[in-house]
Copies of this chain bind each other. A is one copy, B any other.
Amino acid sequence: MFEVHGYAAHDDHSPLVPFTFKRRDVGATDVHIEILYSGICHSDLHQAHNDWGNSTYPMVPGHEIVGRVVAVGPNVKKFKVGDIAGVGCMVDSCRTCESCERDLEQYCLNHTSFTYNGTEQDRKTPTQGGYATAIVVEERFAVKISEKLDLKAVAPLLCAGITTYSPLRHWNVGPGQKVGVIGLGGLGHMGVKFAKAMGAEVTMVTTSPGKIEDAKKLGADKGLISTDKDAMAAAAGSFDFLLNTVPVSHDVQPYLSLLKLDGAMVVVGALTPLDPIAGGLLMLPRRTLAGSAIGGMAQTQEMMDFCAEHNIVSEVEVVDMASINETYERLVKNDVRYRFVIDMATMPKG
């Protein structure tokens, strides 16, 4: 066991404060990563505040982690000291169930160990996240990152990136397809970049006219204002695929209407109840509504390699560790384009 410095929430309403805690020693297949950057996901804030009612404290948030490998266990095959590595939303799973065997550890049938606000495979030891100077993780749950990429802007790929990349791949998005990305935030801006890089014609679907120009800078071909009834009617039945990144409960029916025969909309943002959907909208023509959660580790590596090949990173604003509480306030106001990343070199030393 060794000491690391971090920031933690200690209850559902107080600010995050400096917190010194222990990581496990490096096991045979573990890598020890000195954290360089840690992205701030909106779910960090929800969990710090116990918005989902499942929070345990003290909690060190953070599941968009980029760092340098400083030690490896004797049986580690994928990494050597000095490599750049990333850790996302998971640090372990049973590794033996049907889902894990299919490299879909996020859907582990036994127990996915989430990176923080979770427990290790013993279902007792709490996990602690990336707002910290270091992490130790089994090599299967770390990905290799090309040094060619701007590392601070890589961190959000570990959650916002894979959450959007995975459904685009699963639903075979590619050239010749019309793809809509609904919502332009941390998830949506990655959805635009990936869908474009995969060869699709990309439309930003948003309530905010001002966001269309922003989306075009990220690669979108077109914009569609979802509150413009005429424009929505004109676009009805024209999309092959919609990536719905709206993070709150909403009416998905106007978006479903945009899908053509056999078109699919995948929800990646809203965990909460969607407004009622008329069965007829799914039937005529045959349409699909589906969900998707992050992505497995093999696909996360595939995404990282795709990003290196296509020079894709997130758009980020780097913040200091000590500003975390003010940064959360800005996040609540959506005052970010499109993701905050903590520079871990700014961690106050014990």
Contact = CB atoms under 8 A, between A and B. Distances in A.
Interface of A: 98-99, 104, 106-107, 109, 170, 237, 249, 261, 264, 267-293
Ordered nearest first, which 4 A-B pairs have the shortest CB separation? Answer: A282-B291, A283-B291, A273-B276, A271-B280
B271 A283 contact: yes
Which has the most chain B C-beta neighbours within 10 Å: A104, A274, A279? A279
A268 B292 contact: no
A208 B106 CA distance: 36
B286 A292 contact: yes
Given A107-B285, A284-B291, A288-B290, 11 more contacts: A264-B288, A267-B279, A267-B282, A271-B278, A271-B283, A273-B278, A274-B278, A275-B276, A280-B291, A281-B291, A284-B293
Contacts of A290: 282, 286-289
Contacts of A99: 261, 285
Contacts of A271: 278-280, 283
A111 to B, nearest CB: 13
Which has the most chain B C-beta neighbours within 10 Å: A249, A278, A283, A284? A283
Given A267-B279, A270-B279, A278-B272, A289 B288 contact: yes
A278 B290 CA distance: 11
Contacts of A285: 99, 104, 107, 293
A279 B288 contact: no
Nearest to A268: B283
A46 to B, nearest CB: 12
Given A104-B261, A107-B261, A237-B109, A283 B279 contact: no
